[in-house]
Structure 1
Amino acid sequence: MGARVSTVRVDADKDSGVAVVTLDRPHRLNAVDLEMVRELAGVWRALRFDDSVRAVVLTGSGERAFCTGIDRGVAVPQPSSPYMQDDPLLRIGPKANGLWKPVVAAVCGMACGGAFYLLGESEFVVADPAAEFFDPHTTYGMVSAYESVLMAARMPYGEAARMMLMGTAERISARRAHEIGLVSEVTEPGGALAAAVRCAAVIAGYPAEGVQGTVRALWAAKEAALAQAFTQAPHLIALGNLPAERQAELFTGRRREFRLR
């Protein structure tokens, strides 16, 4: 069984109880536009009511990227007040949409910036050896706020700080991501999706009530800290972000070389 909307593909296997949700904008490195925001929210909410799906795998289309965050071609109007910042990416994750079925992320290629909203709301991450993780915000004169909070909840503080502050100059390899706990498994080349599906199928074979209760308990262990930190994010972004035109200049003039560690 499968369904596709313009930016997201959903393939559900009724026998295994696993649905694979694929970000499907490979021509834009699976960057998130406003249509994908709406469609992802709709997918997560629909999965809440589909009892035949007991576990989910989240991945990206193509080999170049899992997701590269917000599409820079998307204009998101912002209120002038720092108390009313509007971040559409806050609506793209499974937890943000009330889905307490387990989500396993399968990462191939780049995962950066706004991709961390999705990885931060997944139960665990399986990665291809070619996966790379980085956050470009500081390079372009932007505050990494929500991304930093989510990754600091999943990684040692020093590793999260280094990734966020080094910007585009450095990327974390799949190997290093595994060493620091961001990734739970590094597979053979091309094997991340299959490995994630295998894990999801095992989980889907257990009684759903116990699994979903465990997911909720795991999230409860960190949601209070996340909520408190998230209240600071809009003000930090409003205070620290350079004007959009200056960000665009920095983006245009960015250096392409980086260190992979």
Structure 2
Amino acid sequence: MTTPRTLRTTTDKDTGVALVTLDRPTRLNAIDLPTAERLTALWRELRYDDTVRAIVVTGAGDRAFCTGLDRDAATAVPQPNSPYTIEDPLLRIGPRSNDLWKPVIAAVNGMACGGAFYLLGESDFLVADPAATFFDPHTTYGMVSAFESVLMAQRMPYGEATRMALMGTAERMSARRAYEVGLVSEVTEPGGSVAAALRCAEVIAGYPPGAVQGTVRACWSAREAARAHALAYAPHLVSLGNLPGEQQAELYTGRRRHPDGHRVR
């Protein structure tokens, strides 16, 4: 059986820029378990590829950058029977989690939600198409937004990050609003996010790699201590606050009503 291609990587050896594309457009570029494993392996490979000096990550199609963990994958991951541990297949999908310190720029097209924040939170800056939207569905489905909220709270003002986390699927942040609050550094012309991100990456890739990677480390270290402490709490919050898996699934499919009587959409 041929394994479907879910992740594409192209490298321009002349510019030193690699373009990483999540390639599951029919699933809104949601990340299944094989894709999560490939992302982890890819970042580790790029650590050792000296021809790559900057990276752009995006999603195939124009409907979504990434919609987080694929629902089928979420139900397939067994969880330890302990409130002190959690099995999260997305914890290692980001470049920093794999000790990659080359600059990574995210080109956001369409929806970016939930588990997509693992990638966005470990990118150095974001460029967005005007149709891009950001939201976090966890609370809607009876799940704690822990890792995602920690990462987003370091990219945007506390009130904006908290509003996104608490409002769930009821509200989406537009690209323009994301730019206003500092989550996005540039809103491009329609369909122009990848090209704009590649232009930035090419400029950065033209500078001495040691200086660039040292700057990435310096910028990251400015927030790393607070991030490390916050992430340490995340597994406990998820274990204690998540609804059981079958109840999450009922909310996800709209078969279950909240205690106040309304049906989740």
Q: Identify the TM-score tier after normalising by the shorter chain.
A: over 0.9
Q: Contact between 1:135 and 1:163, CA under 8 Å: does it hold in 2?
A: yes
Indicate the residue corresponding to 1:60 in structure 2.
59
CA displacement 1:174-216 (0-9 Å, x = unmatched): 0000000000000000000000000000000000000000001
Q: Contact between 2:58 and 2:108, CA under 8 Å: does it hold in 1?
A: yes
Map residues 230-245 of structure 1 onto 2, 5 A cutoff.
230-245=231-246
CA distance in structure 1 between the partners assigned to 2:194 and 2:10 by the alignment: 13
5+ residue gaps, structure 1, are: 257-261
Indicate the residue corresponding to 1:247 in structure 2.
248
Map residues 3-14 of structure 1 onto 2, 5 A cutoff.
6-14=5-13
Indicate the residue corresponding to 2:147 in structure 1.
146
Report the alpha carbon displacement of residue 84 of structure 1 after superposing the two structures with TM: 1.9
Q: Contact between 1:5 and 1:39, CA under 8 Å: does it hold in 2?
A: no
Map residues 22-171 of structure 1 onto 2, 5 A cutoff.
22-74=21-73, 75-171=76-172
Q: Contact between 2:140 and 2:264, CA under 8 Å: does it hold in 1?
A: no
Secondary structure in 1 aligned to 2:243? coil
Task: Name the aligned partner's letter for residue 147 of structure 2.
Answer: Y
Report the alpha carbon displacement of residue 252 of structure 1 after superposing the two structures with TM: 1.1
Matched, 1:218 2:215: no
Q: CA RMSD in A?
A: 1.2
Q: Contact between 1:41 and 1:93, CA under 8 Å: does it hold in 2?
A: yes
CA displacement 1:93-117 (0-9 Å, x = unmatched): 0000110000000000000000000
Task: Name the aligned partner's letter for residue 249 of structure 2.
Answer: A
Report the alpha carbon displacement of residue 5 of structure 1 after superposing the two structures with TM: 7.6
CA displacement 1:149-184 (0-9 Å, x = unmatched): 000000000000000000000000000000000000
CA shift in 2, pair 1:58/1:71, >3 Å: same
Give percent identity, aligned residues only.
73
Secondary structure in 1 aligned to 2:84? helix
TM-score, scaled relative to structure 1: 0.95
Task: Name the aligned partner's letter for residue 66 of structure 2.
Answer: C
Matched, 1:228 2:229: yes
CA distance in structure 2 between the partners assigned to 1:79 and 1:132 by the alignment: 34
CA distance in structure 2 between the partners assigned to 1:255 and 1:211 by the alignment: 46
Indicate the residue corresponding to 2:180 in structure 1.
179
Report the alpha carbon displacement of residue 231 of structure 1 after superposing the two structures with TM: 1.0
CA distance in structure 2 between the partners assigned to 1:229 and 1:87 by the alignment: 16
5+ residue gaps, structure 2, are: 255-262
Indicate the residue corresponding to 1:259 in structure 2.
none
CA distance in structure 1 between the partners assigned to 2:18 and 2:122 by the alignment: 16
CA distance in structure 2 between the partners assigned to 1:94 and 1:70 by the alignment: 17
Indicate the residue corresponding to 1:195 in structure 2.
196
Q: Paired residues, what number?
A: 253
Task: Name the aligned partner's letter for residue 22 of structure 2.
Answer: L
Secondary structure in 2 aligned to 1:91? coil
Task: Name the aligned partner's letter for residue 10 of structure 1.
Answer: T
Report the alpha carbon displacement of residue 6 of structure 1 after superposing the two structures with TM: 2.2
CA displacement 1:4-31 (0-9 Å, x = unmatched): 9821100000001100000111111110
4+ long deviations beyond 6 Å: none
Task: Name the aligned partner's letter for residue 59 of structure 1.
Answer: T
CA distance in structure 2 between the partners assigned to 1:137 and 1:79 by the alignment: 20
Task: Name the aligned partner's letter for residue 43 of structure 2.
Answer: W
Task: Name the aligned partner's letter for residue 64 of structure 1.
Answer: R
TM-score, scaled relative to structure 2: 0.94
CA distance in structure 2 between the partners assigned to 1:7 and 1:40 by the alignment: 10
CA distance in structure 1 between the partners assigned to 2:13 and 2:86 by the alignment: 41
